[in-house]
Structure 1
Amino acid sequence: MNKISNWVKYCLKELPCKNGYVLDLACGKGRHSIFLSKLGYNVLSVDIDKHKLNCFNGKLIKKKVIDVENINNWPLEKKKFNAIIVTNFLNRKIFPSIIRSIKKGGYLIYETFSEGHQKIGRPTNPKYILKPRELLRLSNKMQLIAYENIYINNPSNHLFQQRILAKNV
């Protein structure tokens, strides 16, 4: 799963600026952080696992260990980002805080598992799986640019996902 998400690549092409401050939330081993930094973005890479954060570096990358899975209070309340990218992660409790951390005119790029995925693979816990149209509801105060609720069926991936690109207006 080290490949850059096609959704992230697509969304970045839609953004008007090619720089700025981006949060890569639940970044894992940093595939998107590295990609973003090579494009000239300043990146804050956040993950629960410090060992994964130690797997990558970049001149424009800063890292922070945060247990984003189990927090109730958003520790980045004072920071504002031009974009926030989240892939394959869901914590409904912090979703409003994520949106508040996006600058006016900034973007949310989000993709994660949706209803149906639990029948074909992990995760299976409903806590980590979006309900139908849930991503639209969670980001309903933002301007919708693109949305997909899809099933990906190719040799390397079988996924049910919801994806969104939305602008904070």
Structure 2
Amino acid sequence: MFELSHHALLWAQALGFISMAVGWWANSQKNDRQLLSGNLIASSITAIHLGLLGSSLGMFNQLLNAVRFATCQKRSRRGFLPILFSTVAIMQGLIFAEHWSEWCAVTSAVLISFALFYSSGAKLRSAMVISNLLNLTLSVYLCSWSGILYQVVTLLILTRSLMPHKQAKCFDEQTA
């Protein structure tokens, strides 16, 4: 990690908070398309934030996320894209990972590569919960205040969005 001046660090953190607000909005959406497009914007801003905080892997991982979010919205055919995105994430890890928490981010990228192309609704949000737990480790390692806050609140938002699905399923089983 490189050192930023106090002033530059505040600007880097401010970008993180902007990304956080966009991400919270995106993750609270019921519509998958809004979830994906909001996360595309949040990933782009987060890439800059993490790059300024000194994580090349985090920055490139978020750029990959942005491309992944954009691609999964435009492609109806899945084909080789999840494998391609997973391979790129692993290669980024081999090149840039310097700490175990960065490997958690790589694992998250592999998981989300498949989830975005093969899941929707509750399954997609469940995969995103696991992904956020893995990414939380990198935010803690980088001392990214906005990253930590973002991951924790996003976990709550996504978990809350899954609760009605579980309650409805239990209700359906009881009435059957």
Whichever structure has more helix as a proportion of its residues is 2
TM-score (norm 2): 0.28
Higher RCO structure (Cα 8 Å, ≥6 apart):
2
From the CA coordinates, give the structure whose radius of gyration is larger.
Answer: 2
